Amino acid sequence: MSFDVESLRAQFPILSRQVNGKPLIYLDSAASAQKPRAVIEAMTRAMEHAYANVHRGLHTLANETTEAYEQARKSLARFINAAEGEIVFTKGATEAINLVAAGLGQSLKAGDEIVLTEMEHHANIVPWHFLRERLGVVLKFVPVHDDGALAIDAYRHMLTERTRLVGVSHMSNVLGTVNPVAEITRLAHAAGALVLVDGCQSVVHMPVDVKALDVDFYAFSGHKLYGPTGIGALYGKAEALAALPPYQGGGEMIGSVSLEAITYADPPHRFEAGTPAILEAIGLGAAIEWLMAQDREAIAAHEHRLYARVREGLAGANWLKVLGEAPGKGAILSFTVDGAHAHDVAQILDRYGVAVRAGTHCAEPLMRRFGVTSSARASFALYNTEAEADAFVEALTRTQAFFA
Which 3 state secondary structure label does DSSP give 392? helix
310 C-beta neighbours (distance < 10 Å), count: 23
Give the Cα-Cα-Cα angle 281, 286, 292 (nearest 5 degrees). Answer: 125
Give counts: helices (H), strands (E), the chain. Answer: 15, 17
Which 3 state secondary structure label does DSSP give 136? coil
Give the residue from 5, 234, 1 showing the smallest Cα distance to 104: 234
Catalytic residue among 126, 362, 372, 391, which?
362
Q: Sign of torsion, CA 392 393 396 397?
A: negative
Which 3 state secondary structure label does DSSP give 24? coil
Q: What is the dihedral of CA 60, 64, 70, 71, to 10 degrees?
A: 150
Q: Position 5: which residue type?
A: V
- d(C-alpha 309, C-alpha 328), whole Å: 16
Q: Position 55: which residue type?
A: H
- Provide CB contacts within 8 A for 323, sequence distance 6+: 148, 174, 175, 334, 335, 336, 370, 372, 375
Give the residue from 76, 121, 123 showing the smallest Cα distance to 96: 123
Q: Position 56: which residue type?
A: R
Give the residue from 116, 115, 118, 174 showing the smallest Cα distance to 369: 118
Give the residue from 116, 158, 119, 176 showing the smallest Cα distance to 141: 116
Which 3 state secondary structure label does DSSP give 281? helix
Give the residue from 124, 163, 148, 104 showing the smallest Cα distance to 367: 148
Residue 200 bears catalytic tag: no
- Provide CB contacts within 8 A for 378, sequence distance 6+: 27, 310, 332, 333, 335, 356, 392
- Provide CB contacts within 8 A for 162, sequence distance 6+: 111, 112, 113, 138
Q: Which residues are catalytic?
A: 362
